[in-house]
Chain A
């Protein structure tokens, strides 16, 4: 999904207008977080159940 599509979906679904300036900040945070998660290796995620309870 392109960033533009995602922004459009969020605008329509949540009635949320996010000005470009804030969108830039959000985009940076999201991109950095996703990149960090991708860097975690070598992890066989499929072998792990999500931990939801303690």
Chain B
């Protein structure tokens, strides 16, 4: 534990992944865990393991600020259910991770505590909103983290930092104690260095919770049992529109190569085209905008000057949609749900790049996209939001590096509550490749 804390002290100034380190509590919990393990009371793979938590999840004895000035003094005296379950599994909460303010942005640039930075190149964004979680895992400042994922917030930074980010099915993990952004799309999202670690974190946190009415009562499988190299029975769909919509050529090439590796593992793959999928992200955006503005209405009246400017603007967008727009988005979600149900009769998983572009410099206003200087931020989440909209499990796994040495993520999505198949394929792919052994030189 001390080694991890010393590493945080040495490296956090470069990447800004922690808003607070719970040193005293963590050391004392580590001593207790040592004694328990020595006396034969070992309670599983997370016992004594330092895990960090995104700063929008309540953790007893910590400030839960959502990376905002508005909650900068919010000392919490209770645990979010997911955090409580981690502690029950023996994990030690080592600190709280920086993120995009109120988890409302895909870059983790706009935080009261300053921007999160990418451990592979500290001039670049870590991706967001759970940027601190992914960068902390990638820089070995913890062994896993709990982030959240409302519109890609766990998978985007995982793709950019070279970690495994798993957004489970809606309702799989309780959201009690998580500062809400969008009731319909918020998910708790484990972020880890390997697929097996992600499976362990999911199993520890999943399951019904009377404190969250949206939480499912379905039994929780033993996800580690699903991890195997035998994926010959898996049928994969290659989401054509998301390969064609890939802005960065290196991203596309790398993910296409990963698909070939997956075929080589014996997976049967076919191209899948889903009508209108390129317009699914705006449907999700509208739902998030309306729900986020509603969640923040009080503070938008009373504390509007205390928001980060870009987050305030995003929140104000929600005022400009009508109830009719919101209902239209819900109807379109139902339509996409039926389309995906049709697709999932043919295939077990869907493959795509996680992000269409590579991370860019913190604060960079434009990058050239198809020859035109363009704000890259609206592009980042184009391939991930559909899975929030439909509540489907989706995971980002490192699948290679750009010529400039930046990690690239492959997204694997599955049927509702079929995290096992997603994890199984991700594990088989991971085992066949060297990517998990390559660490950021920071």
> Which residue numbers of A lie inside 8 Å of B, CB to CB?
6, 10, 14-16, 18, 22, 25-27, 29-30, 32-34, 36-37, 39-41, 43, 45, 48-52, 54
Verify A39–B279 contact, CB threshold 8 A.
Answer: yes
Partner of B330, one of A26, A36, A51: A51
**Most chain-A Cβ atoms within 10 A of its Cβ — which of B286, B317, B319?**
B319
Whole-angstrom distance between the alpha carbons of A41 and B275 in the complex?
8
Supposing A15-B301, A41-B276 touch, asked if A51 and B334 sit within 8 A by C-beta, the answer is yes
Q: State which of A15, A25, A45, A54 has its C-beta within 8 Å of the C-beta of B313.
A: A25
Cβ of B332 within 8 Å of any chain A Cβ, yes or no, is yes
A40 pairs with B170, CB closer than 8 A = no
Q: Which of A26, A36, A48 makes the CB contact (< 8 A) with B279?
A: A36
Q: Judging by beta carbons under 8 Å apart, are A37 and B320 in contact?
A: no
Q: List A contacts of B312 (CB < 8 A).
A: 22
- Are B300 and A14 closer than 8 Å at their CB atoms? yes
Total A-B Cβ pairs within 8 A: 83
B286–A37 contact, CB under 8 A?
Answer: yes
- A sample of 11 cross-chain residue pairs with beta-carbon separation below 8 angstroms, ordered by A number, consists of A22-B316, A26-B317, A30-B317, A34-B325, A36-B282, A37-B328, A37-B329, A45-B331, A48-B331, A51-B330, A54-B170
The answer to whether B367 has its CB under 8 Å from any CB of chain A is no
Chain B contact residues, CB within 8 Å of chain A: 170-171, 214, 276, 279, 281-283, 285-286, 289, 300-301, 304, 309, 312-314, 316-317, 319-321, 325, 327-335, 337, 378, 391
List chain A residues, Cβ under 8 A from B214: 54
Contacts of B334 in A (CB 8 A): 48-51
CA distance A16 to B321 in the complex (A): 15
- Measured CB to CB, the closest approach of chain A to B226, in angstroms, equals 23
Q: How far is the CB of B200 from chain A (nearest CB, A)?
A: 26
- What chain B residues lie within 8 Å of A27 (beta carbons)? 320
Find chain A residues with CB under 8 A from B321 CB.
Answer: 30, 33
In whole angstroms, how far apart are the Cα atoms of A14 and B294 in the complex? Answer: 12
Distance in angstroms from B46 CB to nearest chain A CB is 29
A-B contact sample (13 more), CB < 8 A, given A40-B283, A45-B328, A52-B330: A10-B319, A14-B319, A22-B313, A26-B313, A33-B282, A33-B321, A34-B325, A36-B282, A36-B283, A39-B279, A41-B276, A45-B332, A49-B331
A35 CB → nearest B CB, Å: 8
CB distance from A18 to the nearest CB of B (A): 6
Task: Give Cα distance in the complex from A50 to B337, angstroms.
Answer: 11
| Cβ contact within 8 Å between B282 and A32 | yes
CB-CB under 8 A for A33 and B333, given A14-B300, A18-B316, A45-B328: no
Q: Report if A26-B320 is in contact (Cβ < 8 Å); known contacts: A14-B301, A33-B285, A51-B337.
A: yes
Q: Per a CB cutoff under 8 Å, which of B171, B279, B282, B327 touches A54?
A: B171
In the complex, what's the smallest C-beta–C-beta distance from A8 to chain B, in angstroms? 12
Q: Which residues of B contact A30 (CB under 8 A)?
A: 317, 320-321
Chain A neighbourhood of B319, CB < 8 A? 10, 14, 16
In the complex, which of the residues A6, A14, A37 has the most CB atoms of chain B within 10 Å of its own CB atom? A37
Complex Cα distance A33/B88, Å?
Answer: 43
CB-CB nearest in chain A for B333: A51
A39 to B332, CA, bound (A): 12
Indicate the member of B170, B320, B335 with the most A CB atoms within 10 Å.
B320
CA distance A41 to B276 in the complex (A): 7
B130 CB to closest chain A CB (Å) equals: 23
Contact B317 A29, beta carbon cutoff 8 Å? yes
> Do B330 and A43 have beta carbons less than 8 Å apart?
no
A22 to B214, CA, bound (A): 35
